[in-house]
Each structure stands twice: as C-alpha cells, then as structure tokens.
A and B are shown apart, each in its own frame.
Chain A
C-alpha cells in the first residue's frame, strides 16, 4: 500500500522541482531579481568598476589644476565642471570613489564577519560567555558613532587603516546583536537538537547547522552596514577628519566645494549625487536579495 501512495504524491511535486531548479539557474545569474533589484545591481556594479578602473579612466591627475576658473560649469573639456581650485571634478570623483567604496567595503565586511562570528559563538556557548560578550558589546553600542570616530582620529591621527578599523568597530555591535538573535532562535530548532544528540561539537553546530540558515539576513544586514559606513566616512571627511588631501573620498569632495553650493555648481552636486546613487543602489540590491523572493514564492505555493 505504501509505494503507490508515495509515487502518486511525488509526481506533481517532481514537476515543481524541475521548474524550481530551472529557476535557481536563472537566480544564479542574478536574473531572478526584481526590476528595482536589477537597477540596484547595475548601480553597484558600476561603482565597483569605477573604484577599480577609475584612476585609469581619469583624464587628469588627482591634484592637477587644469581649469582657468574655479566652479566652472560643465563643458566639453570638463564634463562635470571644475572645483574650487580649478581641478577637474570628473577626475576627482573617479579617484575618490576608490576610497569610499574600498573603505566602506572593507569596514562593513570586517564588522559583519566579526559580528556574525561573535554572535554565533555567543549563541552556542554557555550563559556566562554569552552574557559577558553581550554586555561588553552593549557598552560599545552606547558610544555615539561620530564621537567615537572623532576620538579615534584625534588619538591616533587619520589614516586609511585607522578609518577602516573605526568604521568596523562602530558597526560591529549592531551586526553582533542581529547575528546573535538569529542564532539563538536557530539554536533551539530541532535539527540543532538532533545534531547535539548526535554528539557534534559546538563549532560544527555553529558553522554547519546554524550559519547556513542565517546567511541571507546577514547579507542583507551587511548591505545596510555598507551604507552606514559610506555615510560615516563621508561625514568624517566632511569634517575634515577623513581621507587627507590631496587625495579625497566622495565626502571630502562635498566638503571642499561647499562654497560652490550657493552657485549650484556641479563640483558639489556631483559628488553628493555619487554618494546618493551608491547608497541607494546598494539598498535596492539588498532589498531584493533571493532570501526574500524565495520566501514569498513559497508562501504563494502553499
């Protein structure tokens, strides 16, 4: 009696599975994304390319004063006009993107991986380790991020590694909180109980049973942290504490050209626009990450 029932139940399901497999191939190439996700993906890819190839494409050097007057409007020679010293804004942005994207990527990556690792460790360890770690990181959360960054820069001087570390430390507690709460919920699932009853060690449970199930929310969280780091670094640069001249990230470009604001000069509009497109693009992309669409389609099929 068993066999025919199983096969009759399996048949329609097999068809569904074939369809899903085909779709997962599409997904792998990013084509399962929604239109807004595709726009986000396009923007992110564009900025990554700019960060990688920018200096090669730049028509002028980063510090070269090439225009005759400052805050020149856009022209054929200078597509985005010139800045307050008469430097080419396009070249400055092409050079600057590297700092913003690179620093933010490194800072966010550091914050997210460290946060996830600590969160997982706290969830699978005993109560005391969890409590100690959580309270310590809570203490870190209550320091305002800008003030913390100011103190760090004041204490150790501004350098690229220091900025990266500051950004990572600032956003680590948040990533830890999210990772820990996800991991604690997954830690009480029955499949984790089964693994524990099997005799698996904590590291195995953390890495192979829990981590794969929280990777999607953590990726989305990583995207958010990336945006926060971009804004923090831009803010610091705006205060003159970020990347130091003559090099400039997008935030410094906004600051140094602030006097062009009254004239509506492209020298200040364009770097601001660059920050906006980068952050919005990343947000659009993470909002349509597969984890979300998958859940929706499963709900519809039930």
Chain B
C-alpha cells in the first residue's frame, strides 16, 4: 500500500447534443506511489484534464464520473458528498491550472489569495500562513519573497504568477498536487525558470504530483513515470526512461516522432538566386507601433524599432522572439493592417504602399496572412465553401461551377475531403481548421504567406502534419513564407533564414544552419539553450542563471541595447551608454552587440564549460 493515488476503471461520460452519453475517459486505471511525480501525456481532447479533475471528485458541466473508483490516501473520492469534497479540495488535493492570469483575482493582493486555502480549511493562523507562504516563495526562487505578497497579480510577470499559484496550492501541504499544463502558456526562457522552481519544491517537500502536459520534453525533466493517453484510453504507462527510450505502444512512438521534428527540405539551391532577381520582400528601417504619433513622428507605444529584412522568392524567413517582441506586429505591417510610422517596404522590387487603401487588389492578392488561432480567424457563421469561395470570387472572379471546382481542388491540396465544403468551422477539429485557414490563403494564389504562429495552438502530431503540408506547398507552388513563431525547434525545421527579435529590435539574423552555431547574440544563446531537450537530466545540465554583471544607470542615448536588463555579459560603461553596432560574423550572421565576433565565441565556449562543470558536479 505504497500508492497514494489509486484509480481503477475510471469512466467519465459527457452528454452530447442528442442526449446520449459518450465516454471521454474509458476504463483508465493508474496509481501514483507516495512522493513520485506521474505525468499524463496526450493530445488535446485525450482526457488528460478530465482525469486530473476527477482526482478532485470534479467533473465539468455536462460530464459525469460514470464508473470506477478513485482513492487518494484512505479517502474514496467518488463516494464523498459535496461538503466532504470541499474539505478534500485544496487541503488533501491541490490544483495548479494552466493560466495563472485567469486563476488570480486581479482585485486582491497576492498574499490574500495564496493563504486563502489555509484560511478556509482553518489549518493555521494568518501569521503562520503568511510566514509559511514567504518560505514557499523563497524556495520557488521568487524575487523579494517578503514583499511579493503585497503586490497585485498584474504587478508580477507571467512566470512569477505561475510560481505564485504553485505556492497557493502548496500552502496547506496537500498530499497530492495536480499541475495542469502549468508551463504551456509561458515563453521558453520563462518556462525553464518555472520548471526549475517546481522541480526543486517537489524534491524538497517530497510531494506526490500529477503533471498533465502535452510536451514530452518538459515532462521528461520532472516526471518519474509517464502515462500516455489517446482518445480517453490509457496506451502505456511506464518509467520515464522506458517511455523515452523504449516506447512499446505505437501511439507513443508517433508522439515521440512528432516531438523530434525532422528537418524539412530547405529551398532548392537554384531558387532565389540572390544576384538574379530582386528579393520578394525587402523591409528597410521599419518603425511601427500603436497610439498617437509624438513630435518626432514616433508612435506613443513603440513596438518595432528599426527593422530591416530581406526575403528571397521561394524562401522561408522565420521571425522568432518571445511574446511581446513585436513579431505579430511585423506581420500586420506587411499585410497592411497597421500603418508603419517610418520605413520602406519593397515587394517584388516595387515599393509597397504602407496603407491598405493605397494598395492595389493585385498587391493585396500577392500577400496573404494566416493567423495563429483558426477559431477566431475563420468566421463561425460561414461554411467552408463560403470561406474559400470569397477570395476566389474576389481576386479571380470565379463563379458557380468553376468556383466549386476550385474549392474542391483547394481542399484536396490541403488534404481534406471535398465533403467538408458544406460544413461550418465549429464542426471541424483544430488541425482541419488550420488547413482551411491555409487553404483560404492559397485561394488567392499568393507569392508570400505571412504565417503568424500557425502551429502554436496545435498538438505536436497535428502541428508536424501542418508543417509537412507547408513544406510541400512551397515545393509545388513556390510560395514564400514569413514564418512567425516563438518555438525555435519548429523554426529550425522549416526555415532558411532566421531573424531574432527582442523587444522590437532585430538582435540577430542568420541562416538556419548558422543559427545554433556560436557565436550568437546573448539573447539567442539564452533562447536556444532554454528549449527543453527530450532526455532526462537536461534541466540539471543547463547552466543555472548567473548573477548579472552590475551596470550603472542607463544613459538616454537612443538605440541602447534592448536586452540590457537581462544580458548576462553586459559591460558597464559600454552597453548602458552607447547603442550597439551590427557585428557580422564569419558565418555571415548579423548580430547587434557590443561584443566582437571572437568575444561572443569565447562567451559561448565558457557557457559550454559551465554546462559540463554542472554535469561533473552531478
């Protein structure tokens, strides 16, 4: 009886439109030994969260725990009444949700919310709870643990809020902690901090935890055992090593394959010969933002600062950066949805008017934009045929039969059955919707497709299929992509050239092969090393964050390095005083940094040394 959690034959059903009960979790049995972390892995809709919620005796509206038994310690969760369940939740079993921003009440200080659980269950006095909360804040490596509780949720960063939610869950010393995709909404550089903090706390407190995630690489860092779910059924459950190295189930193998993205064929050598043709898209000195223009003609809220780039015909240029770096704004400017404050855009050798109204229909046709979220990018009241038919009629004047024929061709192009044409988008799966989204852009027969995080909202397996499709379209139709993403692994697998944005500044541009090779910009370095690798022990091998060098107050010189506040190699008297120059390295990379080529190389080498030192220490 070492298992803290025992679930057997769990079956959760949902009442569908016609009033019939459908099982979304089918006869799942699993157990978690005391002090271990079990990861639940699966695509969206596989029933991960449903199982996690069932452990608290909760089923979402319309759902019902139909059969099976759940034991947490000596408590049979399924036989409790609502009063007993209230006592269980937050006391014995605690839950950490995906979006901390949505879980915190913006109107109350953080401390009140963190100790609320202890208060409700009456386990300790307010003073004791606050002291304990500060202890937990400290072990979660939160800044100023004594004072952070007095702030309001909007005054801390997303990664900090996620850790604060962990503190909220841990305050009552629960027997079981459920973490539901706690790092999915975070940037990679933040994710690594949160993961490190979680792992430390779990080890220190010997907490039993259920970690729900779709990301195998993240799970590999923190879990002792992994359970793989597919369509509500348990495919495989084993130790982390066994699942990662010797998966036995075919679905697990598919997941593993999708998690290790294959390099897709880059542009053919002949296409996009730089000397022969003008670049498809050339941007020079672009400045854009939101709000009113000030006296110097700069927008109040400056998002893009002096961006220049070129994209060759038939090539794919990736724009990478964390949220808020201005990636999407760049796409909106190119699409004409946002008028830039300054800078020139040349398309196909000719200048592209900045405002949408000034562009000709032909210019509009040649540039199409595909948004991240197909749910909001496809009009829910239109059928697929109407969504695809409109650009066909608008740009090519197709009507009636000819249009229907072309719609069928387009659906075939994106590998969807023609029968889908009469359906509404709400009836399609996430992957199907994203294909329709792509097909709509293709309907215009564009030269350039702006892809704004097209795979970010999709499961790994589906995302891999979409990337394959995009590669195929590029080969067959010769379209170019401006591929915007925060995910460096995706970018590496599809792009020819990469542009790294940080806080609206272009800090580095490189070819994909040169990207991962040193020397690179300190931010790129951080970005690359922060992507979790699909093996155990990766988290420990990553050099822990170093103390940042002390620098004095920044001068008011224009164009100071945007990464200054976070840079581990900043130099006092240089970085905070003067704008950094563009360094061109041997591999032809452009880096915006005060350090020279050789210095950056040395910095990178020292990081590797630190890494191996950390390995030796283990």
Interface residues of A (CB under 8 A from B): 1-3, 5-6, 9-10, 12-13, 16-17, 19-20, 22-23, 189-191, 193-200, 209, 212-213, 297-301
Q: How many residue-residue contacts, CB under 8 A, span A and B?
A: 106
A2 contacts which chain B residues (CB < 8 A)? 415, 465, 468-469
Binds A, one of B275-283, B356-364, B505-513: B356-364
Distance, CA A298 to CA B375, complexed state (A): 14
Closest to A186 in B: B379
Contacts of B14 in A (CB 8 A): 300-301
Interchain CB contact under 8 A, A301 and B461: no
Among A9, A20, A23, A195, which residue has the most Cβ atoms of chain B within 10 A? Answer: A9
B462-A5 in contact (CB<8A) = yes
Pairs A–B under 8 Å by Cβ, sample size 12? A5-B254, A6-B415, A9-B432, A10-B432, A195-B390, A197-B336, A213-B379, A213-B380, A299-B62, A300-B14, A300-B61, A301-B14
Interface positions of B (Cβ within 8 A of A): 14-18, 61-63, 231, 254, 257, 332, 335-337, 356, 359, 361, 364, 367-369, 371, 373, 376-382, 390-391, 394-395, 415-417, 423, 426-429, 431-432, 440, 444, 461-462, 464-465, 468-469
Q: State whether B427 touches A197 (Cβ < 8 A).
A: no
Interchain nearest-CB distance for A289 vs B (Å): 15
Contacts of A23 in B (CB 8 A): 17-18
Q: Which 10 A-B pairs have the closest CB atoms?
A: A300-B62, A212-B381, A190-B377, A199-B364, A190-B371, A2-B465, A191-B379, A197-B335, A190-B376, A17-B427
Q: Measured between C-beta atoms, what is the minimum distance from B375 to chain A in Å?
A: 9
Q: Which residues of A contact B373 (CB under 8 A)?
A: 190
CB-CB under 8 A from A194, the residues of chain B are 369, 371, 377, 440
Known contacts A190-B371, A301-B17; A198 and B444 CB within 8 A of each other: yes
Minimum C-beta distance from A267 to chain B (A): 47
The answer for the CA separation of A213 and B416 in the assembled complex, in Å, is: 26
The docked-state distance in angstroms from the alpha carbon of A300 to that of B444 is 37
User: Which residues of A sit under 8 angstroms from B461, Cβ to Cβ?
Assistant: 5
A197 close to B377 (CB less than 8 A): no
**Contact assessment for B394 and A200 in the assembled complex, using a CB-CB cutoff below 8 Å:** yes
Q: A190-B377, A212-B382 are in contact. Are A197 and B364 (CB under 8 A)?
A: yes
Closest to A192 in B: B379
Report whether B356 and A6 are in contact in the complex, using a CB–CB cutoff of 8 Å: no
Given contacts A23-B17, A198-B444, A199-B364, contact A1 B468 (CB under 8 A): yes
Is B18 within 8 A of A13, CB to CB? no
Q: For the complex, what is the distance from the CA of A193 to the CA of B336, rounded to whole Å?
A: 10
Contacts of B359 in A (CB 8 A): 199
Check B394 against A199 for contact (C-beta < 8 Å).
Answer: yes
B431 touches A6 (CB 8 A): yes
Q: In the complex the two chains form, is A189's CB within 8 Å of B376's CB?
A: yes
Chain B residue nearest in CB terms to A188: B376
Say yes or no: A10 contacts B429, CB within 8 Å: yes
In the bound complex, residues from chain B placing their C-beta under 8 Å from that of A297 are 16-17
Determine the chain A residues whose CB is within 8 A of the CB of B431 once the complex forms.
5-6, 9
Query: Are B423 and A17 touching (Cβ within 8 A)?
Result: yes
Query: How far, in Å, is A124 (CB) from chain B's closest CB?
Result: 13
B461 and chain A: residue at smallest CB distance: A5
Determine whether the beta carbon of A20 is less than 8 Å from that of B427.
yes
Chain B residues in 8 Å Cβ range of A20: 17, 427
Residues of A within 8 A of B380 (CB): 213
- State whether B415 touches A198 (Cβ < 8 A): no
Residues of B within 8 A of A16 (CB): 16-17, 427
B410 to chain A, nearest CB (A): 15
> How far, in Å, is B234 (CB) from chain A's closest CB?
18
Which residues in B have their C-beta under 8 angstroms from that of A212? Answer: 379, 381-382
CB distance from A32 to the nearest CB of B (A): 10
Determine the chain A residues whose CB is within 8 A of the CB of B17 once the complex forms. 16, 19-20, 23, 297, 301
CB <8 Å contact, A196 and B356 = yes
Bound-complex Cα distance A3 to B469 (A): 11
Kindly provide the distance from the CB of A210 to the nearest chain B CB, expressed in whole angstroms.
Answer: 9
With known contacts A6-B416, A6-B465, A197-B364, A213–B18 Cβ distance under 8 A: no
B382 to chain A, nearest CB (A): 7
Q: What residues of chain A lie closer than 8 Å to B468, measured between beta carbons? A: 1-2
